[in-house]
Amino acid sequence: RDASGAIPVLELQWERISDDDWRLAGVNQRTLNKRMVDSTIVECRVFFAENEDCYLPGVVSALRTLVGPELALARRPLKDHVAQVVTGSRIGASGPVFHSGRLEMDNGLGPGVLLGSDLMAMDYIYGAALHEDDERLARLDNVPLDSALRSVVYHFNDLLHVIGNVRAQIENDITKGYFQLDASA
């Protein structure tokens, strides 16, 4: 952590040598700012908190209702795609990207078990950023803060991509006039 509270992150730069061959061209050290990650969590929670109007699985369900039964069936892969990233109030349902903790300690799942980045992200989000959940905070005791922040960023990357996919589908369906709105309702 530097004086501003930022956490260093390494950025790898790759160079294409041929169609299938790449080589490492450089390494830049970047910083991950806790305040920025926390702010992003607050802004994005409307997409993964079940009680929010913009809850992503709910948006896809509404989209499928608005396009009618035939196109709703064609939107099933979008529903499945969203479910790979957002399930319940959880992000990263597809599993961890990396693990962290200390093997000699109980990281909240039992001795010798490292925490997956999906669980770390949710523990940080609901334990530190949005609420003060003692059980979630206890699981993060043996996890470096930079690992917890990095886990949020990695899983939010998936979230932001799937939000973009849903938005593109909505824009497509509006442009093509697929929405079936009942004016009498």
pLDDT above 90 for 104: no
| The pLDDT of residue 10 | 63
3-state secondary structure of 116: strand
SS3 of 176, please? coil
Q: Are 163 and 56 in contact (CB under 8 A)?
A: yes
Q: What is the mean pLDDT of the chain?
A: 87
* pLDDT confidence bin for 66, thresholds 50/70/90: very high
Helix residue ranges, H only, the chain: 34-48, 56-66, 68-74, 76-85, 117-124, 134-139, 145-175
How many C-beta atoms surround the C-beta of residue 44 within 10 A?
Answer: 18
Q: Would you state the structure tokens that stand for residue 64, as one six-digit string?
A: 């499928």
Which residues, 6+ apart, have CB-to-CB distance to 168 below 8 Å? none
Report pTM: 0.76
Q: Which residue bears the tokens 């997956």?
A: 116
Percent of the chain surpassing pLDDT 70: 91
Distances (CA, A) of 141 to 92, 136, 145, 152, 155: 21, 9, 9, 16, 20
- Mean pLDDT, rounded, for 98-126: 85
